[in-house]
Amino acid sequence: MPERLVVIGGDAAGMSAASQARKRRGRDRLEIVAFERGHHTSYSACGIPYLVGGVVEEVDALIVRKPEVFREKQQIDVRMRHEVTAIDLDAREVRARDLENERDVVEGFDQLLIATGAKPLRPPIEGSDATGIFGVQVLDDGLAIEQFLETQKPKKAVIVGGGYIGLEMAEALVNRGLEVTLVERDEQPMSTLDPDMGKYVTEALEGLDITVRTGEEVTRFEAENGFVSAVRTEAGRIEAEVVVLGLGARPNTELAESAGVPLGTSGGIKVDRRMQTEVDGVWAAGDCAEKFHLILRKGVAIALGTHANKEGRVAGINLSGGYETFPGVVGTAVTKVCGIEIARTGLTEAEAAESGFEFVTATVDSTTRAGYFPGTMKIKTKMVVERVSGRLLGAQILGQEGAAKRIDVLATALWNRMTVDDMLNMDLGYAPPFAPVWDPVLIAARKAWARVEETIE
Amino acid sequence: MPERLVVIGGDAAGMSAASQARKRRGRDRLEIVAFERGHHTSYSACGIPYLVGGVVEEVDALIVRKPEVFREKQQIDVRMRHEVTAIDLDAREVRARDLENERDVVEGFDQLLIATGAKPLRPPIEGSDATGIFGVQVLDDGLAIEQFLETQKPKKAVIVGGGYIGLEMAEALVNRGLEVTLVERDEQPMSTLDPDMGKYVTEALEGLDITVRTGEEVTRFEAENGFVSAVRTEAGRIEAEVVVLGLGARPNTELAESAGVPLGTSGGIKVDRRMQTEVDGVWAAGDCAEKFHLILRKGVAIALGTHANKEGRVAGINLSGGYETFPGVVGTAVTKVCGIEIARTGLTEAEAAESGFEFVTATVDSTTRAGYFPGTMKIKTKMVVERVSGRLLGAQILGQEGAAKRIDVLATALWNRMTVDDMLNMDLGYAPPFAPVWDPVLIAARKAWARVEETIE
């Protein structure tokens, strides 16, 4: 009899794992059942703001592979609209609710992959249940917003939360012609950047005619006839016909926790480098699983599709008898709001201080191409560097087209525990259409190294 | 009495060194005399094709700092139109010819920096002295072409040599409305790429209405009334009213060699990691100096402005009493021809074979953004990877906008001697406007690792 793999969650992590497992083991050696609560498999959740903004026109464009393709081409028994409600580790079976037919099914497993994703943070704000208030978590959320915009034609939008999703949704709604206000509890949006970088994000948003209200906490939503009509903060009242919540997310671990699968200190499911939980034959991958942060040297919770895909691949190889490891993350993230590109990797100044590092910082302004080359754009690079050793701890980039992906060099440097004096002579690509003769990344390394030297003298 | 530094060559390497030295030592501690044969200091030679093509409008845009600025702001005694004709290592002095006033001057030195640049390769082809045949080496060459195009208004151009300069000049002349033929001796242009990648460059050039003639050697230039009229090759005759030679360059070392400063096996001046030659107090930097190739583990000659700047900085710090090293290069280069971006780093397949490496290769097609994101472009990545160990040896990228600078991640990986299995999980920036969920670089690493594994089984 073939072994049995049950996958909980049919998006990036779950289906990457299922595909890898199938690639390594045919149907006669492995049966695969995958449960998905929603209406879609393997889609790009990161694409939702672009669907809402009309940048991507068809929802199908965001779907990498449909359930029927998994069934037909890969013999993966995908059960859509099935919500797993319990895992029994002793009996080695899961119980799932068939949401369409309102009945329960029970499936046994030899190997179990938990890929339940993330759960949006929803502080208990009065009036949250009004129509017109949306989260942005799964593709169904995106479609719901889309439909609301089309049928209700709201003119005034409030975005609550100035993180990645908040910013991308702000751009989306501006693109659709709405009047947008962004409300952020912290002093700057993008609290994953240091405030000295975040202030330029505020300026950029204001340049796009987005009203930015920082240092304001939402206290209540007002509604008329069940439809949201305003957002109340400590500082006042903002009219709103549609509200988008972008307050972050945490690992969705209730199911794992109830079953007795241990969590890590970050709140994500604790996994080893092979993505196995502390329970034999039970694996976790994606937003629900804890990631090891290679600079902080501890577990963190980061919800990001690229990690989910990689972890799913690693889990799938291991649970089907192979050997592969996922070493961890360095906290890289990129986004854009209209023409403004934002990137970070490693630790911010605030994170470095909190973790007890002794460090210096350096910030430099440069251009994406040779200064004289048409289309050259501004780029600001900040580095956080360990004192004395000169080891890179983190970097942030703000700029226009061609700026953000330079973070990859810095992420690769972090991955290799490089010092800035080793970085500053690196042989990066140079030609006038692509970089100044000293690439901005190298200029920043040069300045950071000078700072390190100053602190020694 | 202050020490005396003499610099031979007033472009990137020479003036970077002079500036660094001045930064560390004031006029009372260091006198600096710099000789420059031409009319310009510190300019971007890499920008010449863009000046000729009209992409950059003013020649001044290419000049980073003028002689009078060096004189006034940095107290560097820059002598323009002075060609150094001899170095006397025993007397520790140089003799220079003042080209304007036709007289010789002699200057003593304590420290000497040789930054004589590169010399274009000019095989002895009959008829090379006809008017309308140009090299592209120094800014004066660019201005001469510019003037010829404006006064003679040629319609038909032939580019001899399909390397970086050849391609960039082809683009420049197409931009100016000329009918362009490119003649290349090898089977593909861009012989710094493997032929399987180079063939796409040929296709791209043909798509731009450039006639590409490969495997053809130029045998003779024909002239009428002293003006070039045609290029003869083994295969035929090509009408030409202007000819640009892009046949590469070699280190310009005659002066150093005559003086007894030893050269390396590559033909460049032999230097240590601090850029000192084998003669005490005599330094070399830029195109004339040999570079250590970190993958080949031997000296190479590569003419590139970004190396010249870095080496000049290192030489300048050391010759003024500091300590800094230039570790070497990995052979990174990027260029573009209209919409086509071309990049390489490390070893090509051919170079790896020639050096005796055992290797596998992997080539993947992907996109620069999420596949569904507007403006996503094609990108083809080839990797050369050591067998068994999986260590990256080199990579080549061809693609459209957003492709080429991804080479920097690969250059950084080479710098750190990474293996592709360590690379494939790297935490690179992901968001739909910037990359697919698996960045093209990571997809290539994944495929290369699979190839490595296959060769073990």
User: Could you give the CA distance from residue B182 to residue B243 in angstroms, rounded to a whole number?
Assistant: 10
pLDDT at residue A457 greater than cutoff 80: no
A205 to chain B, minimum CA–CA distance in Å? Answer: 18
Nearest CA in chain B to A370: B47
> pLDDT-derived band of residue A140, with 50, 70 and 90 as boundaries?
very high
What's the one-letter identity of residue A3? E
A364 to chain B, minimum CA–CA distance in Å? Answer: 18
Nearest CA in chain B to A60: B372
Contact residues on chain B for A425, CB-CB shorter than 8 A: 310, 314, 326-327
User: Which of A16, A52, A332, A412 best tests the B interface by mutation, with the highest count of B CBs <10 A?
Assistant: A412
Bridge partner residues of B185 (DSSP): none
User: Which of B42, B324, B427 best tests the A interface by mutation, with the highest count of A CBs <10 A?
Assistant: B427
User: Which of A55, A296, A408 best tests the B interface by mutation, with the highest count of B CBs <10 A?
Assistant: A408
Are A428 and B408 an interchain contact pair (Cβ–Cβ within 8 Å)? yes
Nearest CA in chain A to B331: A427
pLDDT (mean) for B168-186: 95
Q: Give B67's contacts (C-beta < 8 A, 6+ positions apart).
A: B10, B36, B41, B78, B80
Are B413 and A411 an interchain contact pair (Cβ–Cβ within 8 Å)? no
Q: Give B105's contacts (C-beta < 8 A, 6+ positions apart).
A: B79, B82, B95, B96, B98
A403 to chain B, minimum CA–CA distance in Å? Answer: 10
On whether the CB atoms of residues A143 and A59 are closer than 8 A, the answer is yes
Cα B38 to Cα A268, A312, A428, B32, B87, distances in angstroms: 65, 61, 29, 19, 19
B329 to chain A, minimum CA–CA distance in Å? Answer: 6
Q: Give A324's contacts (C-beta < 8 A, 6+ positions apart).
A: A274, A313, A314, A317, A318
The tokens describing B56, both together, are 């950059």
Are A46 and B430 an interchain contact pair (Cβ–Cβ within 8 Å)? yes
B47 to chain A, minimum CA–CA distance in Å? Answer: 6
Q: Give B179's contacts (C-beta < 8 A, 6+ positions apart).
A: B155, B156, B157
User: Could you give the CA distance from residue B332 to residue B344 in angstroms, rounded to a whole number?
Assistant: 6
Contact residues on chain B for A428, CB-CB shorter than 8 A: 306, 332, 408, 411-412
% of chain A at pLDDT higher than 90: 94
Are A411 and B429 an interchain contact pair (Cβ–Cβ within 8 Å)? yes
Contact residues on chain B for A12, CB-CB shorter than 8 A: 437
pLDDT at residue B99 greater than cutoff 90: yes
By C-alpha distance, which of B92, B119, B157 is closest to B9? B119
Are B427 and A46 an interchain contact pair (Cβ–Cβ within 8 Å)? no
Are B56 and A422 an interchain contact pair (Cβ–Cβ within 8 Å)? no
Nearest CA in chain A to B13: A437
Are B333 and A429 an interchain contact pair (Cβ–Cβ within 8 Å)? yes
Q: Which among A329, A372, A425 has CB closest to B326?
A: A425
User: What tens digit of pLDDT does each residue of A371-388 get?
Assistant: 999 999 999 999 999 999
B58 to chain A, minimum CA–CA distance in Å? Answer: 9
Are B428 and A47 an interchain contact pair (Cβ–Cβ within 8 Å)? no
pLDDT at residue A75 greater than cutoff 80: yes
pLDDT (mean) for A328-346: 95
By C-alpha distance, which of A364, A368, A369, A350 is closest to A450? A364
Active-site residue list of A: 46
Residue showing tokens 């030489």 = B315
% of chain A at pLDDT higher than 70: 100
pLDDT at residue A389 greater than cutoff 70: yes
Contact residues on chain A for B47, CB-CB shorter than 8 A: 370, 372-373, 432
pLDDT (mean) for A224-240: 96
B331 to chain A, minimum CA–CA distance in Å? Answer: 7
Mean pLDDT of chain A: 96
User: What tens digit of pLDDT does each residue of A170-220 get?
Assistant: 999 999 999 999 999 999 999 899 999 999 999 989 998 999 999 999 999
Are B336 and A433 an interchain contact pair (Cβ–Cβ within 8 Å)? yes
The tokens describing B162, both together, are 């399909």
Cα torsion angle, B402, B407, B408, B410, sign:
positive
Contact residues on chain B for A304, CB-CB shorter than 8 A: 430
Q: Which among A164, A310, A429 has CB closest to B411?
A: A429
Please give the pLDDT value at position B456: 83
User: Could you give the CA distance from residue A372 to residue A431 in angstroms, rounded to a whole number?
Assistant: 12
pLDDT at residue B166 greater than cutoff 90: yes
Nearest CA in chain A to B305: A437
Are A422 and B44 an interchain contact pair (Cβ–Cβ within 8 Å)? no
Please give the pLDDT value at position B176: 94
Are A370 and B44 an interchain contact pair (Cβ–Cβ within 8 Å)? yes
Q: Which among A372, A374, A404 has CB closest to B429?
A: A404
Q: Which among B12, B425, B428 has CB closest to A408?
A: B428
Contact residues on chain B for A338, CB-CB shorter than 8 A: none
Please give the pLDDT value at position A338: 82
Are A431 and B314 an interchain contact pair (Cβ–Cβ within 8 Å)? no
Contact residues on chain B for A62, CB-CB shorter than 8 A: 372
Contact residues on chain A for B441, CB-CB shorter than 8 A: 408
DSSP for B259-287? HTPPB-TTSSBP--TTSB-SSTTEEE-ST
Per DSSP, the three-state class of B418 is: coil
Q: Give B297's contacts (C-beta < 8 A, 6+ positions apart).
A: none
Residue showing tokens 């703001």 = A49
Q: Which of A410-424, B196-210, B289-303, B418-432 has the lowest mean pLDDT?
A: B196-210
Please give the pLDDT value at position A358: 97
Are B47 and A374 an interchain contact pair (Cβ–Cβ within 8 Å)? no
Q: What is the pTM of this model?
A: 0.96
User: Could you give the CA distance from residue B323 to residue B312 in angstroms, rounded to a whole number?
Assistant: 13
pLDDT at residue A123 greater than cutoff 90: no
> pLDDT-derived band of residue B122, with 50, 70 and 90 as boundaries?
confident
Cα A441 to Cα A79, A377, A435, A447, B256, distances in angstroms: 48, 14, 10, 10, 34
Nearest CA in chain B to A293: B427
Q: Which among A405, A409, A411 has CB closest to B427?
A: A411
User: Could you give the CA distance from residue A237 to residue A218 in angstroms, rounded to a whole number?
Assistant: 10
Please give the pLDDT value at position A96: 98
How many inter-chain contacts (A to B, CB under 8 Å) are there?
188
User: What tens digit of pLDDT does each residue of B327-348 get?
Assistant: 999 999 999 988 899 999 999 9
By C-alpha distance, which of A168, A170, A195, A169 is closest to A181? A170
By C-alpha distance, which of B305, B211, B318 is closest to B271? B318
Active-site residue list of B: 46
User: Which of B330, B407, B412, B417 best tests the A interface by mutation, with the highest count of A CBs <10 A?
Assistant: B412
User: Could you give the CA distance from residue B52 to residue A431 in angstroms, rounded to a whole number?
Assistant: 16
pLDDT at residue B457 greater than cutoff 80: no
pLDDT at residue A294 greater than cutoff 70: yes
Q: Label the pairing between strands A392-399 and A378-386.
A: antiparallel
